[in-house]
C-alpha cells in the first residue's frame, strides 16, 4: 500500500522558516519533518511514498535528488527515485515526487496523485504531523470496518477541526469550529480509491466536501489514537519537538 504525503502548502504560521523552505522540510534534530514521517511508516513496512509538492517544490526536489541512492526518472513535474532514509539500517524507500501546483487545495493534491496509486487502497497524511500511531493496527481497523475512509482521531491542543464520533462512525466533521469537544483530525488516513470520485478539481479542500460527503454516506470511520500526536503548526510546536529530540524523548521513533 502506497503512502501519499501532502507537502505543498505554504505554512504561513511557521513563517520564521517557511519563507525559505516548505514546512515539511523544517528540521527536527537536523532531519526534515517529512523524513521523520516516512520513517514512521517504514517502521511498519510501508516504504513506497508519493510526495505531493507545491510551494517551494524545488527545495524538496533538491534534497531528495541530492541524497538519492538511485534516480529512476526525472522530469519537470515527476521525479522517481530510491532513497535511504536511515544510513544505519539502510532502509530503502521508493519515492515519487509529484508537483501538484502552487495554489492547489488539499483535495486537489490528492486527486492529482490518482494515477500513481496502485490497488484499491492507499494511505495519506500531512507533511507536518508526528505520532506514535501504530500504522498496522490503523490499517487493520480500516479493513475490519469496510468503509471508504478511515481517519485517525486524536486529542491535541484546541486549535483544529472537530469530529463527532458515534460507535466509531464519524457523524459530524467541522473544520476549525469555535467550540471544540475533544477529538480532531490527526491525519494518518487509510483511503479506498473510490475517494477520488468525490474530488472534482484543484479547488477542493479534502477536509470539506469530500469528508463531509463521506460522513453523509456513513463511509468515514474513526481510529481513536489517545497516545502521542503533535503537529508542527507554529514555532512553539517546532521548539517543543526540538526539545524532545534533545532530551531523547522521541515517541514517534519508539
Torsion from C-alpha of 161, 114, 78, 35, nearest 10 degrees: 40
What pLDDT, on a 0 to 100 scale, did the predictor assign at position 107? 97
Cell 463531509, residue located: 212
What pLDDT, on a 0 to 100 scale, did the predictor assign at position 195? 96
Instruction: Say if CB 132 and CB 254 are below 8 A apart.
Output: yes
Task: Please enumerate in sequence order all residues whose Cβ is within 8 A of that of 171, keeping only pairs 6 or more positions apart, or say none.
Answer: 164, 165, 215
Residue 113, all three cell numbers: 496523485
Instruction: Say if CB 154 and CB 229 are below 8 A apart.
Output: yes
Residue 7, all three cell numbers: 507537502
Q: Which residues of the chain have pLDDT under 50?
A: 177-179
What pLDDT, on a 0 to 100 scale, did the predictor assign at position 16? 83
What pLDDT, on a 0 to 100 scale, did the predictor assign at position 179? 41
What pLDDT, on a 0 to 100 scale, did the predictor assign at position 175? 62
Instruction: Say if CB 220 and CB 211 are below 8 A apart.
Output: yes
Length of the chain in terms of residues written: 254
What pLDDT, on a 0 to 100 scale, did the predictor assign at position 174? 67
Task: Please enumerate in sequence order all residues whose Cβ is within 8 A of that of 101, keeping only pairs 6 or more positions apart, or say none.
Answer: 8, 54, 108, 109, 112, 202
Pick the closest to residue 6 from 65, 55, 58 (CA basis): 55
What pLDDT, on a 0 to 100 scale, did the predictor assign at position 170? 79
Q: Can you tell me the distance from the alpha carbon of 92 to that of 89, in angstroms, rounded to the nearest whole number?
A: 9
Residue 186, all three cell numbers: 490527526
- 157: number of Cβ within 10 Å: 12
Cell 501504530, residue located: 134
> pTM of the predicted model, to two decimals?
0.90
Instruction: Say if CB 153 and CB 223 are below 8 A apart.
Output: yes
Q: Can you tell me the distance from the alpha carbon of 124 to that of 122, in angstroms, rounded to the nearest whole number?
A: 7
How big is the CA angle at 34 (ends 32 and 35), to the nearest 5 degrees?
A: 70
Amino acid at each position: 500500500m502506497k503512502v501519499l504525503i501532502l507537502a505543498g502548502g505554504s505554512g504561513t504560521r511557521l513563517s520564521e522558516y517557511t519563507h525559505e523552505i516548505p514546512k515539511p522540510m523544517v528540521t527536527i534534530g537536523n532531519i526534515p519533518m517529512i523524513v521523520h514521517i516516512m520513517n514512521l511508516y517504514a517502521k511498519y513496512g510501508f516504504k513506497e511514498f508519493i510526495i505531493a509538492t507545491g510551494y517551494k517544490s524545488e527545495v524538496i526536489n533538491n534534497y531528495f535528488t541530492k541524497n538519492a541512492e538511485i534516480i529512476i526518472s526525472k522530469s519537470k513535474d515527476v521525479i522517481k527515485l530510491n532513497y535511504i532514509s536511515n544510513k544505519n539500517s539502510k532502509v530503502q524507500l521508493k519515492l515519487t515526487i509529484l508537483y501538484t501546483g502552487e495554489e492547489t487545495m488539499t483535495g486537489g493534491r490528492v486527486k492529482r496523485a490518482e494515477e500513481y496509486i496502485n490497488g484499491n487502497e492507499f494511505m495519506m497524511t500531512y507533511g507536518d504531523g508526528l505520532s506514535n500511531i501504530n500504522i498496522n493496527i490503523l490499517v487493520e481497523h480500516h479493513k475490519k470496518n469496510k468503509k471508504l475512509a478511515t481517519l485517525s482521531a486524536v486529542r491535541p491542543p484546541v486549535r483544529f477541526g472537530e469530529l463527532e464520533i458515534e460507535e466509531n462512525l464519524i457523524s459530524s466533521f467541522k473544520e476549525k469550529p469555535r467550540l471544540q469537544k475533544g477529538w480532531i483530525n490527526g491525519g494518518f488516513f487509510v483511503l479506498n480509491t473510490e475517494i477520488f470520485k468525490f474530488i472534482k478539481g484543484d479547488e477542493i479542500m479534502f477536509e470539506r466536501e469530500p469528508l463531509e460527503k463521506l460522513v453523509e454516506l456513513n463511509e468515514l470511520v474513526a481510529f481513536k489514537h489517545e497516545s502521542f500526536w503533535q503537529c508542527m503548526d507554529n514555532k512553539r510546536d517546532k521548539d517543543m519537538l526540538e526539545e524532545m529530540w534533545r532530551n531523547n524523548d522521541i515517541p514517534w521513533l519508539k
